[in-house]
């Protein structure tokens, strides 16, 4: 994992005259008559005798979101280049997400740069740090030619006089934002690792190393232990692969924990659909079907790094869903952990089967909250698209999590669990079936299936990230191609909210 080294710096003419940065990053806004310099650019503009906005306009800049225009300084500053990045339409206030996306676009454009001075942090320090680090991210582990290295060092302008926070608080924000962005990168690296190298046992090895490095409790159940303890969902789904399933438990336990939070993430390291085989087109995207597991692993490690006053316990079910002579079949009945039975009507609805085993196990530890996330349904993409996660669960906690996801820019949207869909999960043989048998409300029906295994009275939430977890299109903002790391930043914000408000 490569991330820029971070530092804070005064954003003054004197500081800029002494900077060792190669590039200075300023923000622009789309005004009615052309680009307008954003707060933080005053000292840079002064070096250009107040003519920077006009120069940018001459070069075709408009200030539109994520627009990048480079201007040589011609000796006016020690840095050789000013990089102006668009924040979008000028309005009453610039939002953190505008800053995050602009910083991400700048981070992508800074590939091959040793050091940058970023003034966007005058608008929002946390957003600027997160955006710069995440925009700089590249995954080149499997390339023989690595290309330009990502930005190596970033100096962030300290928010100026009149902004909230003391110098000590700004340093804490820099550290926390850096840790959160690094956690997203941990998840991205896992998601982007191909399935021939990332399978249940190797995922477990990586998780163990992270646990050891961060002082976490670690436990892994192999296929024999899973069978002894009755984890029928995980064993059923993983039975078709020569690489057997696992169930991981990682725990962060501070001395004084105000609340206990359980995290559960779906870890299908590759999903062919099993006997209910998927179409060949885009099946390679199913290397990302462990995005929930990656996010949960990164989040419990982050909880330890940021020392949240919470007990955070992650349960991560891992399996490959492959067709073979030992695969589970449509028509099979599985006995899940805890004793409920499920008739399998479609082996491509496998994620919910491994999840409920882990959710029931997690509830045995009596958490105050349960957060589960998974690339669960194609219906999520149909309903909400590729950038908006569906959020379901107990209504109060669901709405709280969805609002926090909106604030972080990860765009969760609260969705219902309609009672009339429950009867469609009735089985002729077992306690319930794993699918409804029709295409309507598939994301919601999956949430209802999960609800059947949630302990009474437990505040819980299910975050369906089938679309947002993996970007198959062009890079945008701070999101490159491949794994996105959604919803790590949201889980971090939810944990911080629980720590502050219970």
Catalytic residues: 278, 352
* HEC string for 59-109: CCCCCCCCCEEEEECCCCCCCCEEEEEEEEECCCCCCHHHHHHHHHHHHHH
Mention every residue, 6+ apart, whose C-beta is less than 8 A from residue 306: 176, 179, 180, 492
Q: Do residues 226 and 234 touch, judged by C-beta distance below 8 A?
A: yes
Q: Could you tell me the CA-to-CA distances from 340 to 230, 290, 337, 357 in Å, in that order?
A: 11, 25, 7, 10
CA-CA-CA-CA torsion sign (407, 475, 278, 359): negative
Q: Determine the longest span between alpha carbons in the chain, in angstroms.
A: 80
What is the rounded distance in angstroms from the CA atom of residue 340 to the CA atom of residue 91?
55
Q: Could you tell me the CA-to-CA distances from 175 to 126, 145, 170, 306, 405 in Å, in that order?
A: 9, 32, 9, 9, 21
Residue 37 CA neighbour count, 13 Å, CB half? 22
What is the rounded distance in angstroms from the CA atom of residue 423 to the CA atom of residue 432?
9
Residue 160 CA neighbour count, 13 Å, CB half? 11
Instruction: Decide: helix, strand or coil at residue 396.
Output: helix
Element (H, E) at 293: helix 291-305
What is the rounded distance in angstroms from the CA atom of residue 338 to the CA atom of residue 368?
20
Helix axes 125-136, 167-192, angle to 10 degrees: 30
Element (H, E) at 390: strand 389-393
What is the rounded distance in angstroms from the CA atom of residue 146 to the CA atom of residue 481?
16
């Amino acid at each position: 994992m490569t991330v820029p080294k971070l530092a804070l710096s005064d954003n003054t003419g004197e500081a800029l005259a002494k900077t060792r940065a190669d590039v200075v990053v300023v923000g622009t806004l789309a005004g009615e008559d052309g680009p307008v310099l954003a707060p933080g650019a005053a000292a840079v503009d002064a070096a250009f005798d107040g003519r920077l906005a006009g120069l940018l306009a001459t070069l075709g800049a408009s200030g539109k979101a994520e627009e990048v225009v480079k201007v040589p300084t011609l000796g006016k500053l020690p840095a050789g280049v000013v990089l102006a990045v668009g924040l979008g339409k000028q309005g009453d206030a610039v939002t953190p997400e505008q800053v995050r996306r602009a910083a991400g676009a700048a981070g992508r454009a800074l590939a091959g740069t040793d050091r940058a001075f970023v003034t966007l942090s005058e608008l929002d320090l946390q957003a600027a740090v997160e955006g710069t680090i995440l925009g700089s991210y590249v995954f080149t582990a499997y390339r023989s030619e690595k290309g330009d290295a990502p930005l190596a060092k970033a100096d962030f302008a300290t928010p100026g006089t009149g902004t909230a926070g003391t110098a000590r608080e700004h340093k804490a924000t820099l550290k926390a934002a850096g840790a959160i962005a690094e956690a997203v990168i941990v998840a991205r690296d896992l998601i982007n690792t191909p399935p021939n190298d990332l399978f249940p046992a190797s995922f477990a090895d990586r998780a163990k190393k992270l646990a050891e490095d961060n002082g976490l409790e670690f436990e892994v159940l192999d296929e024999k232990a899973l069978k002894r303890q009755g984890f029928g969902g995980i064993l059923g789904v993983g039975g078709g692969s020569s690489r057997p399933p696992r169930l991981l438990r990682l725990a962060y336990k501070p001395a004084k924990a105000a609340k206990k939070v359980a995290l559960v993430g779906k870890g299908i390291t590759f999903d062919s659909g099993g006997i209910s085989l998927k179409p060949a087109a885009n099946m390679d995207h199913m290397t990302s079907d462990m995005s929930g597991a990656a996010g949960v692993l990164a989040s419990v490690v982050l909880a330890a790094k940021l020392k949240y006053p919470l007990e955070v316990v992650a349960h991560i079910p891992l399996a490959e869903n492959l067709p073979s002579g030992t695969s589970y079949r449509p028509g099979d009945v599985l006995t899940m952990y805890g004793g409920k039975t499920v008739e399998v009507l479609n082996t491509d609805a496998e994620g919910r089967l491994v999840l409920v085993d882990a959710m029931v196990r997690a509830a045995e530890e009596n958490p105050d909250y349960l957060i589960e996330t998974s690339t669960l349904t194609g219906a999520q993409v149909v309903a909400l698209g590729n950038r908006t996660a569906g959020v379901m669960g107990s209504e109060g906690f669901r709405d709280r999590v969805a609002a926090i996801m909106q604030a972080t820019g990860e765009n969760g949207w609260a969705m219902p669990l309609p009672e009339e869909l429950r009867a469609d999960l009735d089985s002729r043989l077992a306690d319930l079936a794993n699918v409804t048998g029709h295409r309507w409300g598939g994301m919601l029906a999956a949430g209802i299936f999960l609800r059947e295994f949630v302990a009474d009275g437990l505040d819980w939430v299910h975050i369906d990230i089938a679309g947002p977890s993996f970007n198959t299109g062009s890079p945008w903002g701070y999101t490159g191609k491949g794994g996105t790391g959604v919803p790590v930043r949201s889980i971090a914000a939810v944990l911080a909210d629980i720590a502050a408000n219970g």
